[in-house]
Structure 1
């Protein structure tokens, strides 16, 4: 629906009905062979144009933006109707080889029609030369064909000069109006729609009617016949109908308004017309549009060739690095995709220069650009032309090799690295540039370039961090490999389904060897892989954002185990590890508090172990968080003390209860004098600050005896007990009650 009111539709149908009804009445009264009855014809035209005028007036009342254009169309319609009614009602029919001078008043109506078309546009005209040439080709070709079809019948009836000009005036004007509509479409100021088509068709019907009228007059017959009346009526009905109907407010398409095949047909039509055009006085009216069409088509062809050349240059520039003139990332991706689509062997080598940032910082970016250009030239000269050498940007290069032999591709990568490592003299300095290279070989499962590039990038990163020079992609070092993604999904499901379990390692008093507490250590009870240690899944949990969920599962399980033990009469403490993000977010402490409340367990039975790196990211926030934990009744322990920040300031300012000396100092203290001194001095300092000291990693009796002699408070390690499942804890504690001798 276009929103046209119902009355407008009724008037549109009424106009066609009046014209058809009048002609049928005339045929019934006079017969098909007789001339039309002037009275019937006059009455039909009056009623017909009256309906059209009423329709336009109603449209004027509904429109605001198009009101001026519609007024001009109404003026033209009234002038044309008045003049045609006068001609139809004249007692002496127009005849002979000349038209009535009074009929030149029709020019006023046509001037109004031209102004209407110019004002009633939907968009502003474009100014591209190619667009105007396309318009010239389209309109010129149409004019050539229309001239032959409409004007040739009049060619032999006039000798030229003024009579021919008068005879052709109205048909040519109608044709120009139709071409104006077509040109506006080509210029993108009028949309390609049914309404536009009706408008152009209306003016073409007028041209056919005027041609018939002129032909009848020049033969000495009555100019206005049933056919001319029908054509005029159809033309005006289409024009007024297109003007009165509402157009949708939609932008014109950004694509070219004139398709290539249409332009080609217009040019071919002009060539055919020029080849077979009629001679005589009418020839200029046919030849001139045809010549204009061919000239415009030639100009458009020249522009098209220039545009094609510019597009080719732009395409090449889009795939070329400006600095090194090597192919860029876009070119590499295109070549990789081509090889994958063709199922051809392919390997990708990504290379990153080592220490290039220092060159830029010390010598400037201009010198850095010179180094990059030298590196590009050396690799291009050292490698066969079949290998695509490209620069990805910055100090990163890529080699695209049409081979899937990993050994051969690694040799190519080493050859490129060797070319780069030759001394380079820049700014009076001798520089040696090295590079890390990652190699990825196309796999049958690769469907696009992104997968291959990602694997090469992983291999390059591993080569850079390990200092290996050049490495082949290894899924074991890929944090986002398919296997790890699958394991992450299994971990997500395992957390929800309760597969996280806790094992506990006992802690004992150093002086009495009585049980002091238990450290909770998380495990994953995988349904198919069995018990998975934390080192195998906690890094994955951190990478995939599941660490908070793991911590919540640990809190719930620890509260449940402690509640069961306390119900059995066991009085023990449980230490829980908490990573810095969970500590600072408060998620872990809130979950532990809620679980303890639901499980009727005192929070004072728990100690939270945090590492020293928790204080580095946000010391003030960490301080506030620890004080909040202390207010809840939780104990606070520094885990792995001595391996991190190790500042005395936080020992003084934070609400701490104990320090857990890192196992690296404990395990070496018997044989290493410096480690022994560090442990001994830490014990003295901690005791002076009224902090409890836990020695973890006690693996033998000698270490245990040394810690006891130094005054350690709590011991933990395999020499005393290994981590055990929760159901084994009561039995172990019972056995400790009957014997204080540690188990080897």
Structure 2
């Protein structure tokens, strides 16, 4: 204000008269003083902002601007700045780095039940625990809510997964809130530079995608996989082409034989869908099936699969070589209220007996909505359709729920079977699963049998059926018939 008055040549009380000389000098002095102080103030703010950007600010100002007030950890802004700086350095020096995204599974329950004060106490304990398990050169940040992130400098996949495992183990201990222990589990998503992205926002998004995928992992940890990411360019392109593929019959079925271990006879097959892209050739099922599942295309795809399998069964029946065929049911299909009616109509239309069809359902698919799944499975079971739990051991079903499910068999996941010869823990899991299933009156199918050693060990355990490349890869229908007639496995079956 004084500066404007001086420039106008007027005093505070009268803008029509020139100011007295002493007053004019005073106003000039105040104008200069105002300019100088404004300049110094702006300079200080600029320097502070510059220091914040560079991460060089120290002391109380740094804590108030950079740190989460509850946990004392770097907040999202500081984490973002450090990640950007780390990416620049990693790019210049050809180094690796990793991001761990951490989310608490039961934090909302604590907040809603005990109140925000206890939630804050839990977050403080969690922050302290996690901080003790990382190097000083790494950055642990609370991004907000119950979400934390870790920046690991120089970390590749094995190192990042080791740290994630260490953090998950430290979270297994309950937090104690005023003398009351509470269990809080966590899940962690891992993204790597440069494998999963070279830009700041890409890496964060990949870590978040991996964190969501960790919900389905028994370990609670998942590394980023593009097949789980709905928003990659490749997935969006495949999504656009997949519906056309269904309409144009670019999909086709292959069948993998199942062998009874004692009799060594073929007792059925598993039907598996494949996609022959007109330009890219064979698209792996782990690339297009998740796209179908997440987009809603899984329903028309499932209808296509059931129709083509029953067409094939009809042809086999005419040639006198009919055997049970297992079809995989997706999560969306299982919870479709029209599923049972559609299956009955398809079986009647193709004149195929219900006993020739089996449906395989994963543990995670059932447990996603156990009550609804139980109703559908019970109706299918009443129709005489066999049911099997697929990938057993990788999901969340308890022994109690397994006992209640209307299923006739369980399939042990290939991740356990293939490593039996070298991993005693996997061998113990397989052996225990066989014993458990038999005590519950269920048959056991072992997937991923690739060696004679595994075959013999499964036979010793009393496993009922097996399938895998040791027996045969999945085959198109015509090749399967040729295999049936030539293979020593099934001379008695055909």
TM-score normalised according to structure 1 size = 0.39
- 1:340-391 CA-to-partner distances (Å, cap 9, x unmatched) read xxxxxxxxx9xxxxxxxxx9xxxx97446x8668x86xx6xxxxxxxxxxxx
Paired position in structure 2 for 1:686: 437
Paired position in structure 2 for 1:598: 349
8 Å CA contact 2:256–2:270 kept in 1: the answer is yes
Paired position in structure 1 for 2:327: 576
Question: 1:700/1:399 Cα in 2 relative to 1: closer, same or farther (>3 Å)?
Answer: closer
**Residues in 1 aligned to 2:49 and 2:367: alpha-carbon distance in whole angstroms:** 46
Structure 1 residue 396: deviation in Å?
6.0
**Higher CA-based Rg:** 1
Paired position in structure 1 for 2:202: 458
SS for the counterpart of 1:554 is helix
Count of matched residue positions in the alignment of Structure 1 and Structure 2: 335
Map 1:163-178; keep pairs closer than 5 Å.
Answer: none
- Pick from 625, 633, 650 the counterpart of residue 376 of structure 2: 625
8 Å CA contact 2:227–2:287 kept in 1: the answer is no
Structure 1 residue 713: deviation in Å?
1.3
Query: RMSD of the alignment, in Å?
Result: 4.4
Paired position in structure 2 for 1:538: 289
**Residues in 2 aligned to 1:632 and 1:474: alpha-carbon distance in whole angstroms:** 39
| 1:492 and 2:243 are equivalent in the alignment | yes
**Residues in 1 aligned to 2:430 and 2:448: alpha-carbon distance in whole angstroms:** 13
Question: 1:647/1:739 Cα in 2 relative to 1: closer, same or farther (>3 Å)?
Answer: closer
8 Å CA contact 2:227–2:286 kept in 1: the answer is no
Structure 1 residue 592: deviation in Å?
2.9
Paired position in structure 2 for 1:480: 231
| 1:637 and 2:388 are equivalent in the alignment | yes
Unpaired segments of 5 or more residues in structure 1? Answer: 1-323, 327-348, 350-358, 380-394, 418-425, 438-453, 468-472
Paired position in structure 2 for 1:91: none
Unpaired segments of 5 or more residues in structure 2? Answer: 1-47, 54-62, 99-123, 142-149, 152-197, 212-223
**Residues in 2 aligned to 1:481 and 1:662: alpha-carbon distance in whole angstroms:** 29
Paired position in structure 1 for 2:216: none
8 Å CA contact 2:253–2:274 kept in 1: the answer is yes
- Pick from 447, 458, 478 the counterpart of residue 696 of structure 1: 447
Structure 1 residue 657: deviation in Å?
0.6
**Residues in 2 aligned to 1:552 and 1:566: alpha-carbon distance in whole angstroms:** 21
- Pick from 252, 255, 273 the counterpart of residue 501 of structure 1: 252
TM-score normalised according to structure 2 size = 0.58
8 Å CA contact 2:265–2:490 kept in 1: the answer is no
8 Å CA contact 1:524–1:531 kept in 2: the answer is yes
Higher relative contact order (CA closer than 8 Å, sequence separation 6+): 2
8 Å CA contact 1:565–1:730 kept in 2: the answer is no
Paired position in structure 2 for 1:137: none
Structure 1 residue 739: deviation in Å?
6.0
Question: 1:564/1:465 Cα in 2 relative to 1: closer, same or farther (>3 Å)?
Answer: closer
| 1:517 and 2:261 are equivalent in the alignment | no
Question: 1:367/1:671 Cα in 2 relative to 1: closer, same or farther (>3 Å)?
Answer: closer
SS for the counterpart of 1:607 is strand
| 1:707 and 2:458 are equivalent in the alignment | yes
**Residues in 2 aligned to 1:645 and 1:478: alpha-carbon distance in whole angstroms:** 23
Map 1:378-527; keep pairs closer than 5 Å.
Answer: 410=91, 433-434=139-140, 456-462=200-206, 479-527=230-278
**Residues in 1 aligned to 2:272 and 2:84: alpha-carbon distance in whole angstroms:** 48
**Residues in 2 aligned to 1:475 and 1:719: alpha-carbon distance in whole angstroms:** 30
- Pick from 724, 729, 736 the counterpart of residue 480 of structure 2: 729
